[in-house]
Amino acid sequence: MPLSVSPSDDGKSADIAAEQEYLSLLYAKLDTERDLASRRLTEALRSAGSGPQAQAEREAATATHSDRLAQLSSVEQGLCFGRLDFAEGHDGDSPIYIGRLGLFDEDDDYQPLLIDWRAPVSRPFYLATAASPDGVRRRRHIRTLTRRVVGVDDEILDLGSAESSDHLGLAGEAALLAALEKRRTGAMSDIVATIQAEQDRIIRADLGGVMVVQGGPGTGKTAVALHRAAYLLYTYRRQLDTRGVLVVGPNSTFLRYIGQVLPSLGETGVLLSTVGELFPGLAATGTDSPEAAEVKGRLTMVDVLTQAVRDRQTVPEDVLEIEVEGETFTLDRATCARARERARSTLKPHNVARRGFVDELLDALAAQSAQRLESVVLDNVPDIPLAEDETDDGELLDARDLATIRQELAEDPAVLAALHGLWPKLTPQELLADLLTSPDRLDSAASGHLTDDERDVLLRLPGSLWTPADVPLLDELAEQLGEDDTEARARRARREREEKAYAEGVLDILEQDEEIFDEERIRVSDVLDAELLAERQDAASVLTAAQRAAQDRTWTFGHVIVDEAQELSAMDWRILMRRCPSRSMTIVGDVSQTGSPAGTSSWADVLTPYVADRWRLRELTVNYRTPAEIMNLAAGVLAEIAPELRAPTSVRETGTEPWQREVARDAVAGEARSIVDHELAEVEGGTVAVLVPADLEGPLSAELAGAGGTTAEDDNPRVSVLTVDRAKGLEFDAVVVVAPDEVVAESRRGLNDLYVALTRATKRLGIVHTGPRIPALSGAQSAR
Ligand SMILES: Nc1ncnc2c1ncn2[C@@H]1O[C@H](COP(=O)(O)OP(=O)(O)OP(=O)(O)O)[C@@H](O)[C@H]1O
């Protein structure tokens, strides 16, 4: 039975007063820590000293203190939210307080005043039950508003209460229900005070390997994924600080929605990104037709791109003539084909293998030039008898002369143009734009891989915007094309040599100091060598791993978390796997909510190519968002999508049934405002979403402009008009689904989009039919 909401007991004034005293002490401590961090930051910014060492130290200190300051400021709201009291005889009888970060008392041997929710000792707060109390006698949720305690909710964990406990096994029911009943603001909140046991086990799972979290709508997958990022950064700080954590979401609306959760947990070292943003310097602002996106997402595109690259490595039909300063040089087909074969056989990427191809053809041209020079000389110089000690090797030009000739040819514009024509140096953007705008190139590359119709959907006009589905293709090409970085590498090696020499100098100075003061001490060089020191200096850069990663296509992350993972195409998975060679990943999603035609309905299908069967599955089964009345209706739709799947169990009921009514298609826009105003009044300041088929989005957005006081610039609007794909992962207090038959008809995956639409509401759901009714929705009550 789902729970009903009952007003929590705020009458425990003595308890509240006692907790207030402790909370005030914690905030006083927080203020002291903040002052300290702020003073240290000011000192670091003012610190004198020039030279690379002083500068690196200043930057590192500035970064450390400003991070600390940001962390201390981010925990202002809800600093402490829990307390555990232990049974007699349990080691450490005194209660512990649990909060957003750890605070310690320096004057009392660093006794903990507040324990970070991620620390192992906090765990019983989330896991202890009456049946398995783990030494806990009482779990107390402390509710606060700004710095004031406004209520406490206690659970006594003894066997007597075990029998009466709810079958969902919820921890801290009163606090949980209070959190779930809150009006939605349009931005996701953290759940740190009310994480449930099945969620906690996922959040704290080991770092390594691939873990898939499958769960129905509203089971907290997104919340769990974000708290897991915070947990991993806390627990594996050293490992993850340098490589960072990547959280991938389906679109920028979703990323905005979840954007505040990690900062509110004091974590800023995470890169939030869509797949479409993973190619630095490129904005994928265009949109593909669903058909084009689906074709671009197929794995076979790797073969198409491989062929497209090979097609750019050409040889002349017969003989290529090159005019250099009035003389004609030639490259015949056989010479070029030989050079191409040898370059390809190195298996190096196109731009790197090009060097070998060019070298070989330059040799051929230089040999022609040398031959000509020699015959000119021989034709014009009379035979001179050799001296006794001379031999005739038949060569008039030595190696240096040949090198000069070759160099001159290599710089000649006509030669450069000819070599470029045969094997051009290419960027991914150049190649893909050429491919998608040229029917001939596309025909050649896609032959044997795509049908004519599939090729046609890929073709586009020159100058078209890049789309998110192009990004994995560009990334693939970046790998296949490579970069001829010979010069950049030489520069880097030079810089590294200089840094190492400098670091050796620093070590020498330190060692001299040590010799003077203490001959017995371990030497610096025993624990630190010059290479390590040089590396540290580099790592001391002020940029966080997430910031550096955002600028570097080849960056690999310490851990990757993928949300709404069911939507990703096979090509999306390729780019993500490339960013995470360690395969330390958390993948969350729901295969019954897949909307994208390129997405998946099987985790095994997408993962097997990368990790075979070495991935573990965890499931979430309780729906925290959608009340039972709405979920009952949605469950009918799920039964038609996948009869073998069970809808998650709703944690609460509201007593409000979903409503439905009919409105003529051409009257919907006219009726929209009164429907929305009614819903706004019902949710008393909460949010309302109108979910529509694509061609009603424009008219209804225009009609509802300004509804609920929403302006076009609002990041968190009170009223949103959205197609279902854009509402994925989001939630609203009231949802109105307009023209469900059209939503189903335009979805390439049948009823999945409708299932997503029905499960976005936290309180109220309405359905406006403009056409034939969908049988699975017959359970909704008729209204007005
Ligand atoms: N333990 C919890 N305590 C309080 N709120 C929770 C808890 N777990 C989940 N929620 C809330 O339930 C709602 C749904 O969570 P979330 O969006 O993470 O679900 P989801 O599984 O990602 O849903 P969907 O697949 O439908 O997008 C959110 O408002 C979230 O804050």
DSSP one-letter code for 215: E
Report which ligand 1 atom has the smallest distance to the Cα of 728: 27
Per-residue pLDDT, 312: 98
Task: Give the model's pLDDT for residue 524.
Answer: 41
Nearest to 622, CA basis, from 588, 603, 650: 650
Phi and psi torsions of 301, nearest 5°: -60, -25
* Ligand 1 atom 18 nearest Cα: 220
Q: Whose CA is nearest to atom 8 of ligand 1?
A: 220
Pocket flag, ligand 1, residue 179 (CB < 6 Å): yes
- Does residue 217 line the site of ligand 1, with CB under 6 A? yes
Does the CB atom of residue 733 touch ligand 1 within 6 A? no
300 exposure class (CB count in 10 Å sphere: 0-12, 13-18, 19+) = middle
Using alpha carbons only, what angle is made at residue 28 by residues 27 and 31, rounded to the nearest 5 degrees? 85
Q: Please give the distance, rounded to the nearest whole angstrom, from the Cα atom of residue 762 to the centre of ligand 1.
A: 10
Q: Is the CB of 686 under 6 A from ligand 1?
A: no
Atom of ligand 1 nearest to the CA of 760: 26
Cα(766) to ligand 1 centroid in Å equals: 21
Please name the residue whose Cα sits nearest to atom 15 of ligand 1: 220
Atom of ligand 1 nearest to the CA of 179: 4
CA atoms of 215 and 331, how far apart (whole Å): 63
What is the distance in angstroms between the CA of the first residue and the CA of the last residue of the chain?
30
- What pLDDT score was predicted for residue 459? 97
Instruction: List residues forming the annotated binding site.
Output: 215-222
Residue with tokens 């009726």: 671
> What confidence tens digit (pLDDT) does each residue in 712-761 have?
677 778 999 999 989 989 999 999 999 999 999 998 777 989 999 999 99
Q: Is the CB of 244 under 6 A from ligand 1?
A: no
217 C-alpha vs ligand 1 centroid, how far in Å?
Answer: 8
> If we measure between CA atoms, which residue out of 171, 217, 215, 166 comes closest to residue 197?
171
Q: What is the pLDDT at residue 52?
A: 75
Strand partners, 179: none
Contacts of 259 (CB under 8 A, 6+ apart): 187, 272
Compute the radius of gyration of the chain from its Cα atoms. 34
**Residue 254 Cα, ligand 1 centroid: separation in angstroms?**
14
Q: Which helix (H) or strand (E) holds 540?
A: none
**623 CB within 6 A, ligand 1:** no
Q: How far is the CA of 733 from the centre of ligand 1 (A)?
A: 13
Distance of CA 218 to the CA centre of its chain: 21
Is there an atom of ligand 1 within 6 Å of 200 CB?
no
Q: Using an 8 Å Cβ cutoff, are 146 and 179 in contact?
A: no
The total of other beta-carbon atoms located within 10 Å of residue 494's CB is 10
CA of 108 relative to ligand 1 center, distance in Å: 40
| pLDDT at residue 584, as a whole number | 96
How many whole angstroms separate alpha carbon 245 and alpha carbon 162?
A: 39
* Regions of the chain with pLDDT less than 50: 1-8, 10, 163-165, 510, 513-528, 532-533, 535-541
Q: Is 625 in the pocket of ligand 1 (CB under 6 A)?
A: yes
Q: What CATH architecture is 628-782?
A: 3-Layer(aba) Sandwich (3.40)
Query: Quick check: CB of 187 below 6 Å from ligand 1?
Result: no
Sequence-distant (6+) residues with CB within 8 A of 656 are 627, 629, 763, 764
Strands 559-562 and 245-248, by their bridges, are: parallel
Q: Which residues of the chain form CATH 3.40.50.300?
A: 628-782
CA–centroid distance, residue 8 to ligand 1 (Å):
22
Ligand 1 centre to CA of 747 (Å) is 25
Mutate to test the pocket of ligand 1, among 176, 212, 219 (most ligand atoms within 8 A of CB): 219
Question: Which residue's CA is the nearest one to ligand 1's atom 13?
Answer: 625
| Residues present in the chain in total | 784
Q: Which of 445, 449, 422 is nearest to 432 (CA)?
A: 445
Q: Which atom of ligand 1 is nearest to the CA of 224?
A: 18
Each residue's pLDDT tens digit, 589-598: 998 888 788 8
Which residues, in sequence order, are bridge partners of residue 321?
330
Indicate which residue's Cα is closest to atom 9 of ligand 1: 220
Cα 585 from Cα 241, distance rounded (Å): 16
- Cα gap 718→708, rounded to integer Å: 6
Tell me which residue has its CA closest to atom 4 in ligand 1.
191
Going by alpha carbons, the residue nearest to atom 24 of ligand 1 is: 217
Residue 554, both tokens:
């080849």
For residues 559 and 207, is the Cβ–Cβ distance under 8 A? yes
Residues annotated within the binding site for ATP are 215-222
777 Cα–ligand 1 center, Å: 24
